[in-house]
Structure 1
C-alpha cells in the first residue's frame, strides 16, 4: 500500500475519555492503534469536566446494596429519553455501560467511586434513583505520568497549586458556612493540599483524574498519541473507510486503518458557523465550556461521505456567565442555593432554577422572543446569599472584584427597583416577582415552578434552610444581578450510529470501517440529560463497544475487581 505513510489496525481520532477507552480496549485485543489529537494537549473536554459517568446497574451500586437493574434503567430511559433515540441504541448502552466499567477496573489503572447521594436528574420518574447512578474517577497522583503530565489539558479555571477536590467534595464545600460536613470537607481539602505540596504529590481529581488514569494505562500498552495532528479527511475506497488524512509535524500524512477508524473528537461547540447553521439563535461559541479544539472536524468529515446527522440543534446546555478576563462559568450548584432566582428581561421568573441545567436552557430558548428576551436572563441574589454561598469562583463573603462592576458582569443596588433599572428591567415587575417568590420561600412551597420538590433540586440545596432547602427570601440589601447566557459542555448532535457504534448513512446502512462516539455522534440521550455523567458515560461505553466490535468481540475478559 505505497500510497500510505503509516499503516495500523485502528485509528482513533481524539483523546477524550471515550477515545482513550476505545484505544485501550482495541490495543488490549491485540490490535495496533494510533491516536491522533488536534491540539497540543490530550484529554479533550473530559479533562476539563467534572469527570462523572452515569452508569446504571454498576457494580458499586450492587456492592453498596442499592437496587438497580437493566429493566429499571430501561424504564427510566423510557420516561426521560423516550423514543427520541432508537431503543436498540439505548439498550446497547444499558448492557455495555456496567460491563465497560468492570472491564476498565480489572484491566487498567482506572478506579471509580460512587458520587453518593447525587440523584438522577428526574429521580421521581419511573425507574429513577434518588441515590443516583453516578461514578467518578478516584483521585490520582499525576506525577506517575512523568513528562506526559505536562501534556494533560489543564483545567479552564485555574486553582492554586495542589488544591483539588472531588465532585462529591465540591457539593459539601458549597455548604462551608452552613453545615459541619461542609466545614469538615474544607478542612480535609486544606490539610490534604498542604500534605501534597510537602510530599510532592500532584493530586488530580474530576476529569483530570480519569484522563490521567487512562493515559498511564495507554502508556503501558505503548499506544502512541500524536499531538498537534488534526484530522483533515476520511479515505473512502469502495464505500468503506480505510484510513484518514491528517497533518502531522508540518506535513500531510495518510494513515491506513486495516480494521477501522473511530471518531471521538468532540462536537462543534467552537465552530461559530456550524452553530449558526444548525442551532437556534442567539448562539456564541465563546459561551461554551467545551474543549477549544472542538470545531466539528470529525462531524464534517463524516458529512462529506454521506453520514446521517441528528440532534444538531441541541447541546449539553447549562446557564453560564461570562466574567471579564476569565473563562466562561458553567453554573450548577449556585442555582439550587436558597435565595437566588433567574428572571427574563421582563423581570419574571420562567422556570425552576434548580432543575437540570439542560432543562433551564431549553426554557430560555423556548420562551425567548424579541418581545420578551430570555437571553440573557439575570440571576438575582441578595447579600445573605453572597455571604453564605459560592458563586462561580467567588467564595462566601469574598469581595467582588471592581472590574466585575466596571464591565457590567455584576450589577448592584440597595433596592430591587434600583437593581431592575441597572438591568433594563421594569422595576414594578421585578419588585412584584421578588415579593411573590419571598412569600413562597417563607412557606417553603414554590407554587409557580415547584423548586425544591425534586431530590435532584435538593442535592445542592442548603439542608439547614427549612422548610425547603432551595428557597429563602431575597430581602437583605445590597442586591446583585449577573447576566446568564445559554452555555454548554459541548454540542449534542453528530453522526448517527447504531448499537455497535457504526456510523450510518442516510439510508440507515452502516458505513464499513467507520465508528463514532461521544459528541462526534448523535447522543443516545436524545434531547434530555438523565443524570450526572450522561456525556462521558456514553462516550466511554460506545468507545468500548466500537473497539469490541472491531476486534470481533475478542477482548480481554473482565478480571478480578479490586
Structure 2
C-alpha cells in the first residue's frame, strides 16, 4: 500500500530552483542564505571547513531521508516511490539532462501480469511467468530474486500510472524472445508508454536527454510502429501505420502539444511525477563516492555548482547510476576482446561510477563480463543497433570465412554471444558481415534510409558499408573467401525456395517472424539474394548498456561477497547485476527490472524504520 506523502513544514527545494546559477547552493538558495545557516531543500545545511575567497563554505552538508544516484528509469522510479512513502528524497545526476539511457530507448517494458496486458486480454498468470523466467534465466540468478521481480513488477506499473501522467500500451504481437519455452507468450507481454504531452514538463523539457534516433518532425511514432514502417513500401498495413503516425502528429500540433513517445515519454512522465511530488533533481552534479560510517552507508559525496557537498542519507542510498559501457578501463578489465566504448548506444555518462563506489564500500560484483548485446553497424556518427534489418528476408550474416554462423533472426543478445564464443584468429567472427542485395534495398527501410534511395556516401567511406556488382567483388572488398561466400549464398537461396532453414532454423520461432515480411512465401524470414548490386554491412558487438554491477538480494540491498548486507546501500538498474542473468526474456527486459527494483528498494527503506 502506498502511504500518502506528508506535507512537511520545510519542503524540498522547488523544481524551479534546481537549475540555479553557478553561485547557488545545492538547494538553489543564495550565498547569503547559506552564511546565515538557513534551512535548505527540506534538510539542514551544515557548513564546515574554511570559507573560499567569495565567502562560500569550502564544504557543505545537506541531509535527506533517501538519496538516489541517477535520473534514469530506475532512479526516478525509486525516487517517486520514496517520496510517495513520505520520505524526503533527492536525485543526483551528473549529466546536464535527465532520463539517461531510458530516454534514448524504445522504452519497451517487460513485466508479466501487469494490469495493462491483463486488461488487453493477455492470458498471463504468475505461474506461467515464473516457469518462463526460470527457464530463460536458469540458476545464474537466485530464485528469490526472480520471484521478487515477478511479484513486485505489476505493482510497480500500477504505482507509476497512479502517481505520474504515464499510461502504457500493450505491444501486441511482439513475442517473448523464447515463446516456445514453458510459459512463453507468442503475442508478448511487453508494454510501452502511451503518447505524452511534453508541455507538462514546462522548462524541464529542455533538460530531457534526446532520443537515440529522433522521430522525424510532425510524426508521432510508437516503438511497435517500427515493424510496419519498415514494410511500408510493400505492405498495406505499413502504409496505414505511416498514415496514422502522420495523423497523430497533425492532431497533436492542432492541440498545441509537444508529443513524446517511447523513451522520451517514459523519462518525461517519471520526471513529471517527481515535479508533482516536489522531488528535486540535481543535474550537473557528479557523484564521487559513498560516505561509509561504522560499516553503514550514510550518504554520498558530490560536486554541486563547483562545491564539494556531502549529501547525508538518513534512511538509505539507492544507486541507479547505470552501467559502465562508456568506461574503456572497466570494459577492458571485465569483458572479452575486442571491446570498446565506440559500439554502445548507452548514455555517454554511464562510466561505472556507482559500481566502482559500491565496490570500494565492499560490494560484490556480478555479470561484469556481460552486456545487453546486439549486432550493430559502426556508422560514422554513432553505432546503429540492428533489429529488423538482420531479420527481414533477403539478408544473411556471415563470418570472416564467408559462412553463416547463426540464426539471423534470433534474439539480438544471443547473436552477439555466438560472435564472441566462436571468434578466434583462425575463424574470425568479429566483425561479421550482413550481406544483402538490391531487391532487399528496393523493398525495406534500412535504418532511416527509404527503399530505393542510395545509402549515405559516408557509410562507404567509413568502411561500415560496401557495394559491388558481384558477390566475388564484394567478398574481395570485405576480405572473405569469394568461393565460400558464393557457396553460402547458393545454399541459403535453396532454403529460401523451400521455406526451411536446415542450418539455423531461421523462421521456425514466432519471435523470428516478428520483423519479417508476411508477403514473402513460404517463409517470411527467407528470400534469395540474387539481384545486383550486392551490399555488405560491418557488424560488431553493440550493446544497449552493460548488465553487470553490484550484487543485490530480493530487497535490492547490496551484498558483500560473504552474502551479508551493506547497511544503507541499495542498487537497481544497470548498476546492479541483472535479474535476467546472461539472457533476455523479452522486449523491455532492461527497463522492467530496473524500474521494479528501484520501486522495491524505496519500499524496503520505507518499511524499515532502522534502515
- Structure 1 partner of 2:528: 473
- Structure 2 partner of 1:193: 249
Deviation at 1:467, TM superposition (A): 1.1
| SS of corresponding position for 1:411 | strand
CA contact (8 A) 1:173 1:182 kept: yes
Tell whether 2:588 aligns with 1:523: no
Tell whether 2:368 aligns with 1:312: yes
Any idea what the Cα deviations from partners look like across 1:209-259, whole Å, max 9, x if unmatched? 011111111101110000011110000011100000011101111000000
Tell whether 2:438 aligns with 1:375: no
Tell whether 2:383 aligns with 1:328: yes
Instruction: Give the unaligned 5+ runs of structure 2.
Output: 1-45, 49-59
Matches within 5 A, 1:403-414: 403-414=458-469
Deviation at 1:402, TM superposition (A): 1.9
1:227 to 257, 260, 283: 283
| SS of corresponding position for 2:512 | helix
Deviation at 1:190, TM superposition (A): 2.1
Matches within 5 A, 1:429-448: 429-448=484-503
Take 2:227 and 2:65, find their aligned partners in 1: how far apart are those partners? 43
Tell whether 2:594 aligns with 1:539: yes
Tell whether 2:314 aligns with 1:258: yes
- Structure 2 partner of 1:213: 269
Matches within 5 A, 1:337-376: 337-376=392-431
Take 1:551 and 1:397, find their aligned partners in 2: how far apart are those partners? 58
TM-score (structure 1 length as normaliser): 0.97
Deviation at 1:391, TM superposition (A): 1.5
Deviation at 1:144, TM superposition (A): 1.6
Any idea what the Cα deviations from partners look like across 1:471-518, whole Å, max 9, x if unmatched? 000111110001000000000000000000000011101100000000
CA RMSD, 1 decimal: 1.3
Any idea what the Cα deviations from partners look like across 1:242-299, whole Å, max 9, x if unmatched? 0000111011110000000000010000001100000000001110000000000000
1:19 to 68, 75, 92: 75
1:122 to 178, 181, 192: 178
CA contact (8 A) 1:344 1:374 kept: yes
CA contact (8 A) 1:236 1:243 kept: yes
| SS of corresponding position for 2:351 | coil
- Structure 1 partner of 2:200: 144
Tell whether 2:544 aligns with 1:489: yes
Take 2:220 and 2:325, find their aligned partners in 1: how far apart are those partners? 27
Deviation at 1:171, TM superposition (A): 1.4
CA contact (8 A) 2:178 2:511 kept: yes
| SS of corresponding position for 1:433 | helix
Deviation at 1:405, TM superposition (A): 1.9
Take 1:499 and 1:2, find their aligned partners in 2: how far apart are those partners? 38
2:222 to 160, 166, 173: 166
Take 1:496 and 1:281, find their aligned partners in 2: how far apart are those partners? 24
- Structure 1 partner of 2:34: none
Choose between structure 1 and 2 for higher RCO, CA contacts under 8 A separated by at least 6 residues: 1
Deviation at 1:188, TM superposition (A): 1.5
Take 1:500 and 1:534, find their aligned partners in 2: how far apart are those partners? 19
Take 1:255 and 1:64, find their aligned partners in 2: how far apart are those partners? 44
CA contact (8 A) 2:489 2:529 kept: yes
- Report which stretch shifted further, 63-72 or 214-223: 63-72
Rg bigger for which structure? 2
Deviating beyond 3 angstroms after TM superposition, the runs of 4 or more aligned structure 1 residues are 1-4, 194-200
CA contact (8 A) 2:117 2:191 kept: no
- Report which stretch shifted further, 394-403 or 29-38: 394-403
Any idea what the Cα deviations from partners look like across 1:162-183, whole Å, max 9, x if unmatched? 3331011111111102221100
- Report which stretch shifted further, 173-182 or 273-282: 173-182
Take 2:255 and 2:128, find their aligned partners in 1: how far apart are those partners? 46
Deviation at 1:197, TM superposition (A): 4.0
| SS of corresponding position for 1:287 | coil
2:568 to 504, 509, 513: 513
Matches within 5 A, 1:390-405: 390-405=445-460
Any idea what the Cα deviations from partners look like across 1:99-118, whole Å, max 9, x if unmatched? 11111112221211100011
- Structure 1 partner of 2:231: 175
Take 1:196 and 1:62, find their aligned partners in 2: how far apart are those partners? 29
Tell whether 2:365 aligns with 1:289: no
Instruction: Give the unaligned 5+ runs of structure 1.
Output: 555-562
CA contact (8 A) 1:441 1:472 kept: yes
Take 2:115 and 2:251, find their aligned partners in 1: how far apart are those partners? 32
Tell whether 2:157 aligns with 1:110: no
- Structure 2 partner of 1:90: 146
- Structure 2 partner of 1:559: none
- Going from structure 1 to structure 2, the CA distance change for 1:547 and 1:346 (only over 3 Å counts) comes to same
- Going from structure 1 to structure 2, the CA distance change for 1:251 and 1:191 (only over 3 Å counts) comes to same
- Structure 2 partner of 1:454: 509
| SS of corresponding position for 1:449 | coil
Take 2:565 and 2:127, find their aligned partners in 1: how far apart are those partners? 28
Deviation at 1:158, TM superposition (A): 3.8
Take 2:393 and 2:543, find their aligned partners in 1: how far apart are those partners? 24
Take 1:156 and 1:139, find their aligned partners in 2: how far apart are those partners? 18
TM-score (structure 2 length as normaliser): 0.89
